[in-house]
Structure 1
């Protein structure tokens, strides 16, 4: 974080300063800011956030032991360290992030890219980071730090030297993306896709559209909205922004587009066409045709930021995995190949993963899909699980293993659609799935493991990958 006095921190957060640990209002701090006491280093700031399961205040002593210089708390603690007492720790975290971004932006070098969408945010963020790091100091979130806590924690990593901030922005309700946009004030806002991910929390697809539109509504006329031309719901956002619109997609009307797409177990090849008219072939090692759209979005933003096409292509080609647990290839090519895509799942990403599984299989190569629940779909849950079961049959997936009661309708749908004899199996637990797959898989098989994170199948994917390695 940039250097700030305790007085400045108290002022921007609306808190009351309690000096301590040899520090007073004029003392300066510039260490890491975190809500996780395990991540505190000497001189850092620990934000004691009350949670649904536990209370961050309970971990404040550990943060002090780790060398915290300041605590941001909702009640004063009997600890020998300076404290800023606030009414809402999460709001204070956001206010502090807003100040830091504004201070660094005022230096005249910082450019901010915001990314949202029902799917692909983390992959696009990783791709864009890989590109931008080649031309300047870049801050981007780890994993999926994209909510009211993770996003400001990322923003607080800025220093005076930072040239690019990539801010991933997720939401579980209306107004949350708008709040993050006000913190970061993106120069470029990317909207990838609007789908049924978290639709239950938004009250339906139209609520999801309204939430994602928040990415572009507050952009200035000098800013750029990078929009998916292939998604009608995203395309409609052009009417709600004052920013210049830059389209990406597969169609000829998109300024940034892909042609000549080929898919194999080694990755995805395509020709990248940029808005400038330049084009280059790309050997993209991230598995799955659906990730080409994420690469296009990253390339569009990078060109807007002045990155040469050769650097864009070189960076895209250097990325081997979208993210831990996202189309992550495990096992050996001469044995059973495991694709662990169980970090998260929505109907769109589940369909994309199954289509990829079918696409990359060579003639005669057996495909196995181990599928768990797609969470947060609300009233759409039943019909969407049915659709996935039907799709698995229509794609001729050789073996479906459905795990957990929340996903059981997928199993019923595969049976009803295909009248299979054992090609679809249902088990209650990941352990049962492991036993079934290891007992029946044979060299040359490709095994996809896909579910929402809440279903807990990512560990199963890792376990299968280790078993077949």
Structure 2
């Protein structure tokens, strides 16, 4: 893991931009797209969307203490002291993504990317907890998992983490592929295929095709963790060039759950076996779907050298995330 102390020159090169003003060796603080949250020394990225334009808040950004800004080429910038940095690029959204990818690469950290129709956040949180028994881990905050949220989440790698656990969200074809290109994951986790996004697709098979973009750009030394019980996933992962570890209740799953039992409002229990080792795992998360999310996280965690005993202990502490599946007694 590398702690990254970025400079304006480094950022400018990473985004393929031009340093309009400021010193190339000036340090870059925290990256933000919200002028209201800026602190002294931060770096403000002015994004342009259908209903907003961050360039309209440049004055606010500077009054909040921003030391530098990223703007689209040709945009007028308020009169500034000479030392204030202005980096320009053709498209600030793409530049933010390119900066995140450069940070990801320079950090030396390993990245886990998670997709699926349901359970991404639960799987992410469970895996981050399991990996934290041995590593310094960062993860998406909340559900910052789209083309803007993912780059902002990857910026945490500047702090010197060993592993980033990132969930990837989507509404349309092509989105997962772009997010994979940004994150360049070493481990890809595909939890399931369902109808969670069917409003944007013609069928569950179309959803599966879009989710299958998680496989794009994989190399021989990459790992895929996927659901052995999901026929749509099985039909799309046969050509993965790297190692594949499966989870589920199927007899051929690498990590298999047997003797699955509901504990009612107290959660789930199962005997979990992998590579000749087994343990009775209990979790306070409710339902078979939640158990499958724990199995997905466990499979990925074991691939990093976390023990099944550590997985069992973390699973017992897991509780619903952000009011998801909370039981009110």
Same-fold call, TM > 0.5?
Answer: yes
Superposed displacement of residue 113, structure 1? 0.8
Q: Which residue of 1 aligns with 2:239?
A: 240
Q: Which residue of 1 aligns with 2:269?
A: 269
Q: Which residue of 1 aligns with 2:114?
A: 115
- Pairing 1:146–2:148 present: no
Q: Which residue of 2 aligns with 1:42?
A: 40
TM-score by length of 2: 0.92
String of CA shifts for 1:29-62, please: whole Å, max 9, x gaps: 2x32122233333322221112333222233333
Counterpart Cα distance in 2 of 1:52 and 1:325: 31
String of CA shifts for 1:70-112, please: whole Å, max 9, x gaps: 211222421533221222111001100111111112xxxx221
Counterpart Cα distance in 1 of 2:261 and 2:59: 55
- Pairing 1:326–2:324 present: yes
Which structure 2 residues correspond to residues 219-368 of structure 1 after superposition, within 5 A? Answer: 219-263=218-262, 264-274=264-274, 276-321=275-320, 323-330=321-328, 333=329
- Pairing 1:9–2:8 present: no
Counterpart Cα distance in 1 of 2:294 and 2:56: 42
Give the secondary-structure state (helix, strand or coil) at the position aligned to 1:43: coil
Counterpart Cα distance in 2 of 1:329 and 1:63: 42
CA contact (8 A) 2:246 2:255 kept: yes
* Pick aligned residue for 2:52 from 51, 54, 63: 54
Q: Which residue of 2 aligns with 1:175?
A: 174
Superposed displacement of residue 152, structure 1? 0.9
Q: Which residue of 1 aligns with 2:91?
A: 88
Counterpart Cα distance in 2 of 1:36 and 1:183: 21
Q: Which residue of 1 aligns with 2:78?
A: 78
Q: Which residue of 2 aligns with 1:341?
A: none
String of CA shifts for 1:139-179, please: whole Å, max 9, x gaps: 10011111100111111110363101111111222222122
Give the secondary-structure state (helix, strand or coil) at the position aligned to 2:128: helix
Q: How many residues are paired up?
A: 321
**Which consecutive segments of 4 or more residues in structure 1 shift more than 4 A?**
none
Counterpart Cα distance in 2 of 1:60 and 1:269: 54
Q: Which residue of 2 aligns with 1:100?
A: 103
Superposed displacement of residue 252, structure 1? 1.7
CA contact (8 A) 2:205 2:232 kept: no
Give the secondary-structure state (helix, strand or coil) at the position aligned to 1:240: coil
Q: CA RMSD in A?
A: 1.8
Give the secondary-structure state (helix, strand or coil) at the position aligned to 1:4: coil
Superposed displacement of residue 181, structure 1? 1.4
Counterpart Cα distance in 2 of 1:215 and 1:259: 28
Superposed displacement of residue 256, structure 1? 0.8
Closer, same or farther: CA 261–76 of 1 in aligned 2, 3 Å: farther
Counterpart Cα distance in 2 of 1:325 and 1:79: 46
String of CA shifts for 1:112-133, please: whole Å, max 9, x gaps: 1110111111110011111112
CA contact (8 A) 2:59 2:78 kept: no
CA contact (8 A) 2:4 2:160 kept: no
Counterpart Cα distance in 2 of 1:98 and 1:210: 24
TM-score by length of 1: 0.65
String of CA shifts for 1:177-210, please: whole Å, max 9, x gaps: 1222122221111111112222232343333222
Counterpart Cα distance in 1 of 2:226 and 2:271: 19
CA contact (8 A) 2:257 2:270 kept: yes
